[in-house]
Structure 1
Amino acid sequence: MSATSDTPQVGTGDAPRPPTRRTQAKAARRAELLTAAARQMAERGFAGVRLEDIGRAVGVSGPAMYRHFSSKTELLDEMLVDISQRLHDGGAEVVDRGDPPAETLLALIGFHIDVLVTKPDLIVVQDRDLSSMTPEANHRVRLLQRRYVERWVDVVIGVYEEDGRTLDRAEARVRVHATFGLLNSSPRLPDYDETELRHLLTAMALAALGCRA
């Protein structure tokens, strides 16, 4: 099979070629479609959106949509696996800095709130439409979520120990899940000053976790 002009060629000891303009343009359009899909699905739900609706929002015709995604489910899979991977990797990066537990917890809360503020539509879709994914993608998302939760659990237990307290791992896990439920509801909250909202959500998260600032 002959390689296309969009496929980076790698020979022995050769570095991959940089992406072509065509490849970059296709990736940019794909990102636009994912953003439009998240917005529409957050508003109307997975079942209430068609591929044609998503394409129309960014000027892509119905048939041309299938050059980017074979189905609406494939689009949902990519969208939710991506946001789950971002949360997992970002949380791991915060924890791996090796800062004291209390400082790490504040950084984790701040990181999670940053994602909520910048990707609110994705958070809404993830909370509501996880069951519409393919089984394989659903499994991947749930695995990433579990690992993300356990990062938080380790840190919360560390904060308790730092304060001379003990916390059962099962209870810590419940507290972390409850905190996520609290934080992830923020895209549905009434309009509020963003800076004040961050302070309020941080304080509420710390209270739910039973931790002091």
Structure 2
Amino acid sequence: MARPRTALAAAERRRQLADLAAGQFHRRGFHQVSLAGIASSAGLTAPAIYRHFENKQALLAASIDRGLDVVAAAWTARPGASLDDALAELAIAAEERRDLWTLLQREMRHLDQRQREPLEARFNAFAADLRRRVHDARPECDAGQVAVLSTALLAVLSSPSVYSMPARSADRARILGRVAGAVYRADLPHAAAPDPGRLGATPGSAQQQGTQNGRRAELLDTAIALFHDRGYAAVSLDDIGAAVGMAGPSIYYHFPTKGDLLVQAFTRATEQLTTGKRGKLEDLAAQYIELGVRERLVFGVYVLEAINLPPEAARRIKASLDAHVAEWCRALAAERPELSDTDGLVLVHAARAVVHDVVRVGHLHERPTISQELRELVHAVLYTHSPSR
């Protein structure tokens, strides 16, 4: 029996609102989006939206669920297809729902347990099936290597969610699908010896840089760890002071506001990108990998909390990161002059996304060969054969 027309219209309106909200949550973050604003964008009155969603969390959950629908449809679109063909379909889905990865990583934490658990279960089931397919394609790899490869190829596919890229969606999807295929074929090191890239590297600037401002560095490292574990909004200056045994008022001598800690954390990391060997692509990639392994918590905090930066600091830090990306692109163009500027930018963003996600997801950073593995993965991304137009 056909569903009543009013029920179909209501379902379509829910889908419309969920998709509209997804874009706003992606661009502005959960706390900066209001139901009234979404209703206005959809041509509705504020009270009308409550006929479809009881609150903003319910709308966010629906937005994520809709994105996962797109992923599931792409992943199962061609039963019996090769892994390369399945990844090509996922790349198209990644372009269609560029918001999804950011919503999963940054915004889903705003849902309560009842709303969050089914979404986590959906994504985890998809990720497990992806790891199974990668293992089937690379049976010589152990479980840890499969986890690294799977995380890296998901980072490639999710890179449009994080970076604004030029070029038509279809062109980006074609490139990203090809890159994902190159990533799962990457040759990872099997040696169990300590990774030379990790020797002497310890997390946090207080240990890494010795006497750099002493107490100030300790406060900053502690703040980064707390922001990473609890979220920026849930941490107060008093929490940070208590963690280092410092009375609340004393903190203000070093950092007048919590926002100053966030700004300084990202500034410290970006400043490290201006030191060391410059110009050659291999050196730039090695430097970035070393920074990622050493400052993995900062990388994680940036993904989740950069949206909370004060506007002027956000512009300054973004400009610094954009300049570093441009340096990668120039170095890549020097080695691969056949690439268009757009293709080069897509590859650079994908390569850096691999570093971000592998160092901060789960416990992959604890692998003794992780720096070597990242160098192989980044090389696989940057030297992927560019598909013809």
The normalised TM-score by structure 2 is 0.43
Contact 1:156–1:172 (Cα < 8 Å) also in 2: yes
Aligned-partner Cα distance in 2 for 1:37–1:190: 21
Aligned-partner Cα distance in 2 for 1:193–1:45: 22
Q: Pick from 35, 38, 61: which aligns with 2:221?
A: 35
Contact 1:50–1:72 (Cα < 8 Å) also in 2: yes
The answer to whether 1:167 aligns with 2:339 is: yes
The answer to whether 1:150 aligns with 2:333 is: no
**Given the superposition, is the C-alpha separation of residues 109 and 71 from structure 1 closer, same or farther in structure 2, using an over 3 Å criterion?**
same
Per-residue deviation, 1:49: 1.0
What residue in structure 2 maps to residue 78 of structure 1?
264
Aligned-partner Cα distance in 2 for 1:72–1:49: 9
Contact 1:55–1:65 (Cα < 8 Å) also in 2: yes
Consecutive unaligned residues of structure 1, counting only runs of 5 or more, are 1-24, 97-103
Question: Alpha-carbon deviations, 1:1-51, whole Å to 9, x = none?
Answer: xxxxxxxxxxxxxxxxxxxxxxxx892101100000111111111112111
Contact 1:160–1:211 (Cα < 8 Å) also in 2: no
What residue in structure 2 maps to residue 208 of structure 1?
381
**Given the superposition, is the C-alpha separation of residues 29 and 192 from structure 1 closer, same or farther in structure 2, using an over 3 Å criterion?**
closer
Q: Pick from 342, 350, 354: which aligns with 1:178?
A: 350
C-alpha RMSD over aligned residues: 2.1
Question: Alpha-carbon deviations, 1:131-162, whole Å to 9, x = none?
Answer: 1111111011000000000010011111113x
The answer to whether 1:58 aligns with 2:234 is: no
The answer to whether 1:108 aligns with 2:311 is: no
Aligned-partner Cα distance in 2 for 1:192–1:140: 29
The one-letter code sitting in structure 1 at the alignment partner of 2:288 is H
Per-residue deviation, 1:189: 3.7
What residue in structure 2 maps to residue 199 of structure 1?
372
Contact 2:293–2:365 (Cα < 8 Å) also in 1: no
Aligned-partner Cα distance in 2 for 1:133–1:192: 26
The normalised TM-score by structure 1 is 0.76
Aligned-partner Cα distance in 2 for 1:192–1:133: 26
The answer to whether 1:134 aligns with 2:310 is: yes
The answer to whether 1:124 aligns with 2:327 is: no
* Residue aligned with 2:363, SS: coil
Larger radius of gyration: 2
Aligned-partner Cα distance in 2 for 1:205–1:27: 34
Per-residue deviation, 1:191: 4.0
Contact 1:159–1:211 (Cα < 8 Å) also in 2: no
Aligned-partner Cα distance in 1 for 2:374–2:265: 25
Aligned-partner Cα distance in 2 for 1:198–1:81: 23
Q: Pick from 269, 274, 278: which aligns with 1:95?
A: 278
